Amino acid sequence: MAFSMTGYGMGVAEDKVRVTVEIKTVNHRYLDFFIRVPRGFMSFEDVVRQEVSQRLHRGRAEIVVTVEDFADTNRTVTIDWGLVKGYEAALKELEKTLGIHYQARGEHILQQPDVLIPESVAPEDVEPTLREAMHRALDNLLAMRAREGEALAQDILQRVAKLEALTQQLREQAPKVVASYHQKLKERVAELVQQVPVDEERLALEVAIFADKTNVTEELVRLDSHLNQFRTILQQEGPIGRKLDFLIQEIQRELNTTASKANDSTASQLVVEGKAELEKIREQVQNIE
């Protein structure tokens, strides 16, 4: 089953506090993290990495964790007296430097950052709530990635079907190329040696050599095999993006070889169409985990 690497999921869990987790993922060759957690909860980063690594395999994941206190919770608030004295000393220095008098009032100092320190909830008490929120966010994220992955897979399968049809057209064109060469060679020889019987045996030998040089049977058989594998891999569980990327390279190789050997304008045009479809598949596969 194909999973897109692009998605978004949010999860909320409540106990002593409300924890909200938002996860956004985009394409990336490997699994990469960008994590933002509240001040005082830096230990959450390890928990987040652990939970995400168990569910995701590729992509850049941006995870934002917020922790909110309930408004009706009775909490103890303390004052950072060292910081209060620091603000007071700074104000006195300001008066001295600028030659102005500033009457500091208590409420002004209390409004400064980090002067009032509310009683904090210990991170270890919040961790179970965080994990619950993480699970919900990841479930929602994976559901979205699965929906988008299914859409990508359907588009890819349509293009694989076009490549299969083009492969069949190349197979049907191959004998026509040899027959056309045989006829043109015979006419050319006849023009050059008028009144002289054409050596059919020699002509047949030249045609056989040409047929061997332009034989693309092996390439077409491998193309069929690669395209069948493409269908099979799209149904597999787990990360499949790299497997599909490898197959694309192999299909590209067979198409290039076919184009160089075919020696036919119709076959060359079919290969060009095949490469165009393959490039569209490559673009879609870049977004599959």
- 143 with 252, same domain: the answer is no
Which segments of 191-285 are extended strands (E)? none
Residue 68 pairs in a beta bridge with: 18
- 21 with 83, same domain: the answer is no
244-287 tens-digit pLDDT: 999 999 999 999 988 877 777 888 899 999 999 999 999 999 99
Q: What is the pLDDT of residue 20?
A: 96
Q: What is the pLDDT of residue 180?
A: 59
- 165 with 216, same domain: the answer is yes
Q: What is the pLDDT of residue 165?
A: 96
- 141 with 38, same domain: the answer is yes
Q: What is the pLDDT of residue 28?
A: 92
85 in a structural domain? yes
* pTM to 2 decimal places: 0.72
Query: Using CA atoms, how far apart are residues 193 and 4, in angstroms rounded to an integer?
Result: 66
- 11 with 141, same domain: the answer is yes
Per DSSP, the chain holds a count of helices (H) and strands (E) of 8, 6
- 183 with 130, same domain: the answer is no
- 89 with 63, same domain: the answer is no
Could you write out the three-class secondary structure of 25-63? Answer: EECCCCEEEEEECCCCCCCHHHHHHHHHHHHCCCEEEEE
Q: What is the pLDDT of residue 258?
A: 85
Q: How many domains does the chain have?
A: 3
Closest CA to 207 of 171, 183, 241: 183
Which segments of 111-245 are extended strands (E)? 116-118
Task: Give me the CATH number covering residue 28.
Answer: 3.30.230.70
- 265 with 169, same domain: the answer is yes
Ranges of residues in the chain whose predicted pLDDT is under 50: none
Task: Answer positive or negative: Cα dihedral of 70, 72, 74, 80.
Answer: positive
Question: Residue 105 corresponds to which tokens in the numbers above?
Answer: 């009032």
82 in a structural domain? yes
- 173 with 270, same domain: the answer is yes
- With 0-12 / 13-18 / 19 or more C-beta atoms within 10 angstroms meaning exposed / middle / buried, residue 101 is exposed
Residues 6+ apart with CB under 8 A from 232: none
65 in a structural domain? yes
Q: Which residue has the tokens 């076919």?
A: 258
User: What domain range is 245 assigned to?
Assistant: 149-285
- 159 with 232, same domain: the answer is yes
- 173 with 188, same domain: the answer is yes
2 in a structural domain? no
Edge-to-edge strands, sheet with 7-14: 7-14, 17-26, 59-69, 31-36
Torsion angles phi and psi, residue 60, rounded to 5 = -95, 120
- 179 with 241, same domain: the answer is yes
Q: What is the pLDDT of residue 103?
A: 65
